[in-house]
Amino acid sequence: MNKSENEPITLSSLPASPEAKPAGKSPGEQINGPKGFTPRPGQVICGDLDIRIDRGGVWHYRGSPIGRKELVRLFATVLYRDEDGDYWLVTPAEVGRIEVEDAPLIAVELALSGSGSKQIITLRTNVDTFVTVDGDHPIRVDIDPETKQPSPYLVMDGGIEARLTRAVYYELVSLGTEKKPAGEKKPGSENHDGENHDTGVCFGVWSSGVFFALGTLEPER
């Protein structure tokens, strides 16, 4: 990006959809902005920007990686996820949508304090933000139905997610423990008598007094 270090970067200077509309120009005008987001008067909807974040968390501009980490950090501070799961950059003056292949951020380092159910896990992202895993910032794990491989994510403020690197995930697993759900019924585990016959044990990790499931250990046959 051919910008000097001191020159401010605005979204409108980036490639956008042909028609950017200032919000609030006329009552009832349809604004193609983030779903569930109300633009401020005068805030410009820039449309789709030529910015992409690949699966590895690398930001690209016009097909080339953005080499300035300071710029990536700046963009990350104005990330917004709408109700459809689309990602946008939202500044006080402008709003523009970007492409995200998986998650926009990557959790690259784990810090631990305490132990057992009282332990506290803090994750550092690739833009040097620190997030404590707790009820408001949970860990979730997607399992690929074909490969059965896990894809772990940290859910951050506003629903923005950071995918855990393999190394961080393995470190998380090493802190894991077993927990049998107390009185919980797993869908599809009931017999015709209505009783729960599932004996699977949940495997997960504690942080901030909350248990986060990483998977289910099936009983031996």
- Write down the pLDDT at residue 165: 97
User: Are 14 and 46 spatial neighbours (Cβ–Cβ below 8 Å)?
Assistant: yes
Do 49 and 73 reside in the same domain of the chain?
A: yes
How crowded is residue 8: how many other Cβ atoms within 10 Å of its Cβ? 7
Do 47 and 116 reside in the same domain of the chain?
A: no
pLDDT band of residue 179 (cuts 50, 70, 90) is confident
Residue 127 to residues 41, 64, 109, 146, 174, Cα–Cα distance (Å):
31, 18, 11, 32, 25
pLDDT of 192 higher than 80: no
Mean pLDDT over residues 111-116, rounded? 96
- Write down the pLDDT at residue 17: 40
Domain termination site, one of 38, 70, 100: 100
Number of domains comprising the chain: 2
CA distance 117 to 177: 10
Do 49 and 74 reside in the same domain of the chain?
A: yes
Do 63 and 142 reside in the same domain of the chain?
A: no
Do 93 and 112 reside in the same domain of the chain?
A: no
How crowded is residue 189: how many other Cβ atoms within 10 Å of its Cβ? 13
- Write down the pLDDT at residue 217: 58
- Write down the pLDDT at residue 221: 46
| Token output for 35 | 């779903």
pLDDT of 30 higher than 50: no
- Write down the pLDDT at residue 136: 98
Do 147 and 203 reside in the same domain of the chain?
A: yes
Answer yes or no: is 93 within a domain: yes
Domain termination site, one of 100, 127, 160: 100
- Write down the pLDDT at residue 199: 52
pLDDT of 18 higher than 90: no
Q: What percent of the chain has a predicted confidence (pLDDT) above 90?
A: 62
pLDDT of 6 higher than 70: no
User: Are 213 and 176 spatial neighbours (Cβ–Cβ below 8 Å)?
Assistant: no
User: Taking the model in full, what pTM does it have?
Assistant: 0.77
Domain of 24, CATH number, reads 3.10.540.10
- Write down the pLDDT at residue 194: 41
First to last CA, the chain: 59
pLDDT band of residue 177 (cuts 50, 70, 90) is very high
Do 27 and 44 reside in the same domain of the chain?
A: yes
Domain termination site, one of 100, 123, 140: 100
Answer yes or no: is 5 within a domain: no
Structural domain of 186: 105-217
- Read off the pLDDT of residues 67-99 as tens digits, 9 standing for 90 and up: 999 999 999 999 999 999 999 999 999 999 999
Do 32 and 111 reside in the same domain of the chain?
A: no
Do 29 and 110 reside in the same domain of the chain?
A: no
CA distance 207 to 112: 9
Average pLDDT of the chain is 82
Label each residue of the chain as H, E or C.
CCCCCCCCCCHHHCCCCCCCEECCCCCCCCCCCCCCCCCCCCCEEEEEEEEEECCCCCEEECCEECCCHHHHHHHHHCEEECCCCCEEEECCCEEEEEEECCCCEEEEEEEEECCHHHCEEEEEECCCCEEECECCECEEEEECCCCCCEEEEEECHHHCEEEECHHHHHHHHHCCEEECCCCCCCCCCECCCCCECCCCEEEEEEECCEEEEEEEECCCC
User: Are 196 and 188 spatial neighbours (Cβ–Cβ below 8 Å)?
Assistant: no
- Read off the pLDDT of residues 120-138 as tens digits, 9 standing for 90 and up: 999 999 999 999 999 999 9
Do 16 and 115 reside in the same domain of the chain?
A: no
Burial (0-12, 13-18, 19+ Cβ within 10 Å), 197: exposed
- Write down the pLDDT at residue 10: 65
